């Protein structure tokens, strides 16, 4: 089997899907490994190191030619995979929500795509969890970026000239990134506080030496399956009041509510930012999805009118390209080990394995993941609409619209399911942080449950339309006689 690793083409992507270390492991599985020249340059892995590890280094066309497996960080284009073996496995972060057209193109190209971010949160899959490995680094880097922009000392310093007070750091969200941010800020000597709408998160926060704050009016918003339940209006108001009052006294604020496939919930308003002292720093780890802070500009660092700095880097883990690539590539190798027959040294995918079923998006030219099955609906609707247009012009738009109405709850349920998987294990990541995110996650099961009913309802007009022409035929014939 041949494994190919192409250079990442996405703007700002510095990571690589294989390192010299993991190339050695892949070869040990019986694979021939091909690396595109320059693939590891931005992560400080030169071509000579890959060659020394046993990989062949060449141009893109040579690398991809005949590849049975393609390892990637970001979703590749269908065109870039031209030349790979039929049905080749393409493994990486696919980011399917909101990018359905690209997933459909990959399906059409005949490759089998595997979305590593869909890896279930179960014990055997911990070592394959790319979201946790990258979020850990993002939480760490957020504090380093904040400290660099703060222009003051983080720890308390007692000198002959007097005492310098420690910086006050507030972390919003006690998920994987949030807990790492707390730990890093504590190691730098800051006074750290954190919030989360689930009371259970308090123990994790306090175990790291930080103070957990939660409004008395809220008590606990833990829901079922690791979700935060929807807050009542009174709880929402109390939580907003608590956050607003606390932020005004902080030097550094780090927000961590990044929801895959959804716009980030707004946690910090313009008024909250303006209440902070000049020189304060805010780091928004959800910038790539629009940001948790109202004033965030994705990809930029800005200074507000009151002198606060807002850092909105996207792909924060990519700012630690070497470390991020090392962890990410190990995640991929751990998954690949479950797909290979180690005795025969050949690819032997068990399509019934729960890890495979949870992560495969496309196979045999079709989209097969249940959470994104609506992607095929628009294409399927066209012939139906054309057929319906024959007996009745007015019937066509209604028939074509039916799959679209069904798609929305399916998509919401898919996103909620992914978030739920993240929260259930490790620490609650994002859903508990914002009432908006919590509301959407809590609503998702209801939407999913409503789907059969919606489908049934959508079927009624179709049946009625089908019956209408049949009834009209005898009548018309009779009239002609």
Q: Which residue bears the tokens 């696919």?
A: 94
Residue 68 in contact with residue 81, Cβ under 8 Å? no
Which among 334, 299, 321 has a CA at the least distance from the CA of 73? Answer: 321
Q: First and final CA of the chain: distance in angstroms?
A: 72
What angle, rounded to 10 degrees, do the helices at 395-424 and 377-389 form? Answer: 160
Q: Which residue bears the tokens 């995918």?
A: 349
3-state secondary structure of 294: coil
Which among 203, 298, 198, 213 has a CA at the least distance from the CA of 247? Answer: 213
- Between the alpha carbon of residue 383 and those of residues 108, 293, 374, 387, 396, the distances in Å are 18, 45, 16, 6, 10
Distance CA 167, CA 185 (A): 9
3-state secondary structure of 384: helix
Residue 150 in contact with residue 185, Cβ under 8 Å? no
Q: Which residues pair with 228 in a beta bridge?
A: 222
420 backbone dihedrals φ, ψ, rounded to 5°: -60, -40
Distance CA 481, CA 479 (A): 6
Centre a 10 Å sphere on the Cβ of residue 159 and count the other Cβ atoms it contains.
7
Q: What is the 3-state secondary structure (H, E, C) of 442-463?
A: HHHHHHHHHHHHHHHHHHHHHH
Provide the phi-psi class of 162: left if phi over 0, else alpha when psi is between -120 and 50, else beta. Answer: left
- Between the alpha carbon of residue 163 and those of residues 155, 166, 218, 277, the distances in Å are 11, 9, 38, 20
Residue 349 in contact with residue 42, Cβ under 8 Å? no
- Which structure tokens are listed for 136? 């850990």
- Which structure tokens are listed for 400? 């074509």
3-state secondary structure of 246: helix
Catalytic residue numbers read: 121, 126, 129, 132, 227
């Amino acid at each position: 089997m041949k494994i190919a690793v192409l250079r990442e083409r996405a703007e700002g992507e510095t990571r690589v899907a294989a390192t010299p270390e993991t190339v050695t492991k892949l070869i040990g599985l019986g694979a021939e490994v091909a690396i595109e020249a320059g693939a590891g340059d931005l992560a400080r892995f030169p071509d000579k190191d890959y060659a020394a590890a046993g990989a062949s280094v060449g141009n893109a066309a040579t690398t991809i030619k005949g590849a049975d497996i393609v390892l990637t960080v970001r979703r590749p284009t269908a065109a870039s995979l031209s030349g790979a073996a039929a049905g080749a496995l393409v493994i990486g972060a696919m980011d399917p929500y909101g990018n359905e057209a690209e997933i459909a193109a990959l399906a059409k190209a005949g490759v089998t795509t595997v979305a590593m971010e869909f890896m279930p949160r179960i014990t055997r899959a911990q070592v394959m969890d790319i979201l946790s490995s990258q979020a850990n680094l993002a939480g760490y880097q957020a504090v380093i970026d904040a400290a660099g922009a703060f222009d003051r000392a983080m720890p308390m310093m007692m000198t002959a000239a007097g005492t310098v007070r420690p910086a006050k750091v507030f972390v919003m969200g006690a998920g994987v990134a949030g807990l790492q941010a707390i730990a890093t800020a504590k190691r730098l000597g800051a006074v750290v506080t954190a919030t989360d709408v689930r009371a259970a998160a308090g123990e994790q926060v306090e175990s790291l030496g930080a103070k957990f704050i939660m409004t008395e009016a809220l008590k606990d918003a833990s829901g079922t399956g690791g979700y935060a339940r929807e807050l009542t209006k009174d709880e929402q108001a109390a939580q907003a009041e608590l956050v607003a009052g606390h932020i005004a006294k902080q030097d550094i604020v780090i927000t961590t509510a990044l929801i895959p496939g959804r716009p980030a919930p707004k946690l910090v308003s313009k008024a909250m930012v303006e209440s902070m002292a000049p020189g304060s720093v805010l780091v928004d780890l959800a910038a790539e999805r629009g940001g948790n802070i109202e004033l965030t500009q994705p990809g930029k660092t800005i200074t507000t009118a009151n002198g606060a700095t807002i850092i909105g880097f996207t792909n924060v883990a990519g700012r630690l390209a070497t470390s991020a690539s090392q962890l990410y590539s190990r995640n991929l190798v751990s998954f690949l080990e479950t797909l290979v027959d180690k005795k025969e040294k050949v690819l032997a995918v068990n399509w019934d394995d729960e890890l495979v079923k949870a992560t495969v998006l496309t196979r045999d030219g079709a989209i097969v993941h249940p959470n994104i099955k609506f992607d095929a609906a628009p294409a399927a609707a066209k012939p139906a609409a054309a057929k319906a247009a024959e007996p009745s012009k007015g019937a066509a738009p209604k028939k074509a619209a039916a799959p679209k109405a069904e798609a929305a709850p399916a998509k919401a349920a898919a996103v909620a399911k992914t978030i739920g998987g993240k929260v259930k294990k490790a620490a609650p990541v994002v859903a508990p942080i914002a009432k908006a995110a919590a509301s959407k996650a809590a609503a998702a099961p209801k939407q999913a449950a409503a789907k059969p009913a919606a489908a049934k309802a959508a079927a009624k007009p179709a049946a009625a339309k089908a019956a209408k022409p049949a009834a009209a035929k005898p009548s018309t014939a009779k009239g002609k006689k």
